[in-house]
Amino acid sequence: MPNTLVIIPTYNEIDNLEPIVSRVRANVADAEVLIVDDSSPDGTGALADSLAARDSNVHVLHRSTKNGLGAAYLEGFAWALSRGYYTLVQMDADGSHLPEQLPSLLAASENAEVVMGSRWVTGGHIVNWPWHRRMLSQGGSTYSRFLLHLHQRDVTGGYRVYSANALERMRLSSVESLGYCFQIDMLLHAVRAGLTVVEVPITFVERTHGASKMSGRIVLEAMGRVTMWGLTGQGVARTSGSPAVAGSRRG
């Protein structure tokens, strides 16, 4: 049975894709890779096909439209679950998620159903972010944690590991966010399902090639959705428990 699948969504990542796939394959040799390309006009999809032709552990899923990171991941999850993969990894294509740290996330997944790479626990770091970007990200996590009663510290981070069983229990058909808010929505589903969620400190590195897809409008839209969830009681029940952090003291 196939075991680990690293899902990498792409849109105009032609300069970043080959290096990131190569680093994943070098650091977790038995992991397979699924590139989910949203019809990138820069040729990323054709490059993905070329990588798959050279390496049988690389697969490509072409999507006809670009309708959000969450939609790409959900389609990737469905592809993986239908083929029996046991461990599914979310990873950005731009190099911000270091493949060199994937072994530590996978090690933590042996005792947890959801593992979150975290920038905001002790041992987590950010490289090459301006102060306003740091404040926006940390502020968004803090705001979401408060309104939704989440214990986890980095609720918007996208470097994650899910077991297949976890995804099946999370009722993915009810995940309604497709953009920046997708990560928060997925965490809410995981906590509501009673899954074991741990955070592992990571170093997050700002991209050096290509343009970021992030914008103020996207963040404001996500915070609006979080506000609606909080005001309508769609967060999680308050508990006295503490978040689990693997490889670090609580931040």
pLDDT in tens, 178-233: 777 899 999 999 999 999 999 999 999 986 755 555 555 666 677 778 888 887 77
Task: Please answer whether residues 241 and 113 qualify as being in contact, where contact means their C-beta atoms are separated by less than 8 angstroms.
Answer: no
Look up the domain containing 175 and give its range: 4-245
Token pair of 148, please?
A: 């939704």
- 45 domain residue, yes or no: yes
The mean pLDDT value for 81-110 works out to 97
Whole-angstrom Cα distance, residue 5 to residue 16? 19
| pLDDT at site 136 | 77
Average pLDDT in the chain = 88
- 97 domain residue, yes or no: yes
Task: Please answer whether residues 153 and 121 qualify as being in contact, where contact means their C-beta atoms are separated by less than 8 angstroms.
Answer: yes
- 77 domain residue, yes or no: yes
| pLDDT at site 194 | 96
Q: To 5 degrees, how large is the angle CA 57–CA 40–CA 51?
A: 20
The mean pLDDT value for 137-158 works out to 89
Record the pTM. 0.89
- 43 domain residue, yes or no: yes
Least confident piece of the model among 43-52, 66-75, 157-166: 66-75
| pLDDT at site 238 | 52
Q: How many domains does the chain have?
A: 1
Q: For residue 247, is pLDDT > 70?
A: no
The helix-helix angle for 216-231 and 182-192 (nearest 10°) equals 30
| pLDDT at site 138 | 80
- 251 domain residue, yes or no: no
- 250 domain residue, yes or no: no
